[in-house]
Chains A and B, each alone.
Chain A
Amino acid sequence: MKKYYLTILFLSIIQGLMAQNETSVLRSSGKIYVVIGVILIIFFLVVLYLVRLDRKITKLEQTES
């Protein structure tokens, strides 16, 4: 039963988000997706940096104890 609730929740969220009119300024030329791509690449690299830092610190902790 749980997964049905989740599905309904996600569907309602997606439906709410997708109820868009095409005249919106940001999406009128379709190039906003390029900006989103750039933002996601930056975010991905920052997260990669954090993950590597996390693993390094964990290794240090293991050698200490």
Chain B
Amino acid sequence: MKLIPNLWYKLIAVATVGYVLVYGLLIDLPTDVGILDETIRNLFYHVPMWFGMSLILFAAWINSLMYLSRPNVKRDIYASELTNVGLLMGFCGLFTGMFWAYNTWGTPWTNDPKLNGVAAGMAMYGGYWLIQKSVVDFEKRARLSAVYNVFVFPLFVSLIYVMPKLSQFSIHPGSGESVNFKAYNQTQNMEFVFYPAVIGWALLFVWIAELRTRNQLLKFKKENEKILSNHIVS
């Protein structure tokens, strides 16, 4: 057996993130981006965190649905670890965003609908984490957290994408009345870095999630040799 399973997507992840790290700093920028100036390069590092988080949390949501339709230890562990890593990405996005905002808008936290939505959404995922930590019985924990996750993900998406879009005012691009990032992109080369950035960063964090999942599966197998023989793990 190979020492590194699923090598192909890991290679793609490393190659694309490496490419993004180099060309994100090197490409030519559109000339008038207002107060953003050179910091518009954060589009390749801050924004992919949120996109990747949404993709990973969506994958976790699918796994939760699959667990509810056919209970299986694997699905529960996939869902919980993907959620953990998705939230890690979310926090990366949050802190980079606060740093960027401090240097652009003058304050780390503005009263923006997007920021408030994210704060509320993170708190809701805190509830998911609480269920994971507080329920001892495995079956109960898996079922409860799956149900919770199935409800929480659509709410989270509506809080961070739909509500800011509907709101009157937002300083985030593409929300409320403000212009989209596309309006800035006259040189037409930013998407050559931006789309690979979304894919690459997401895959890199999926790799971390895979490692955590396999670790948890090993732990579970060690603790439940008996249950294993009853074909709960397939």
> Is B28 in contact with A50, judged by CB distance below 8 angstroms?
no
The segment from B130-138, B139-147, B211-219 found at the interface with A is B211-219
Any A CB within 8 A of the CB of B4: yes
- Give 1 or 0 for each of B156-177: 1 = CB within 8 Å of chain A CB: 0000000000000000000000
Distance between Cα atoms of A20 and B190 in the complex (Å): 12
Any A CB within 8 A of the CB of B119: no
Any A CB within 8 A of the CB of B106: no
> Is A57 in contact with B28, judged by CB distance below 8 angstroms?
no
Residue in chain A with minimal CB distance to B31: A21
From B3, B18, B26, B215, give the contact of A40 (CB < 8 A).
Answer: B18
- Give 1 or 0 for each of B1-37: 1 = CB within 8 Å of chain A CB: 1111100001000100110011101111100000000
List residues of chain B with CB within 8 A of the CB of A53.
211
A20 in contact with B4 given A43-B17, A64-B221 (CB within 8 Å): no
A50 in contact with B208 given A19-B28, A24-B28, A57-B215 (CB within 8 Å): yes
> Is B214 in contact with A61, judged by CB distance below 8 angstroms?
yes
List residues of chain A with CB within 8 A of the CB of B193.
17
Closest-CB distance, B170 to chain A (whole angstroms): 28
- Please classify the interface of chain B as helix (H, G, I), strand (E, B), loop, or mixed, using the class held by over half of its residues: helix
Closest-CB distance, A44 to chain B (whole angstroms): 8
Distance between Cα atoms of A27 and B43 in the complex (Å): 18
List residues of chain B with CB within 8 A of the CB of A50.
207-208, 211
Residue in chain B with minimal CB distance to A55: B3
Residue in chain A with minimal CB distance to B189: A16
List residues of chain A with CB within 8 A of the CB of B187.
19
> Is A58 in contact with B25, judged by CB distance below 8 angstroms?
no
Distance between Cα atoms of A58 and B3 in the complex (Å): 6
- Size class of the contact patch on chain A: 20 to 34
Residue in chain B with minimal CB distance to A37: B22
A26-45 contacts to B, CB under 8 A, are 26-27, 32, 35-36, 39-40, 43
List residues of chain A with CB within 8 A of the CB of B211.
50, 53-54, 57
Beyond A27-B26, A54-B207, A58-B2, 4 extra complex contacts between A and B, CB < 8 Å: A19-B189, A39-B25, A57-B214, A58-B1
Nearest 10 pairs of A and B residues by beta carbon = A20-B28, A16-B189, A55-B3, A57-B214, A54-B4, A13-B192, A17-B27, A58-B3, A39-B21, A47-B14
* 28 pairs of residues in contact across A and B, judged by CB atoms under 8 Å: A17-B26, A17-B28, A17-B192, A19-B28, A20-B26, A20-B27, A25-B38, A26-B38, A32-B25, A35-B25, A36-B21, A36-B25, A36-B26, A43-B17, A50-B211, A51-B4, A54-B4, A54-B10, A55-B4, A57-B211, A57-B214, A57-B215, A58-B1, A58-B4, A59-B3, A60-B218, A61-B218, A64-B218
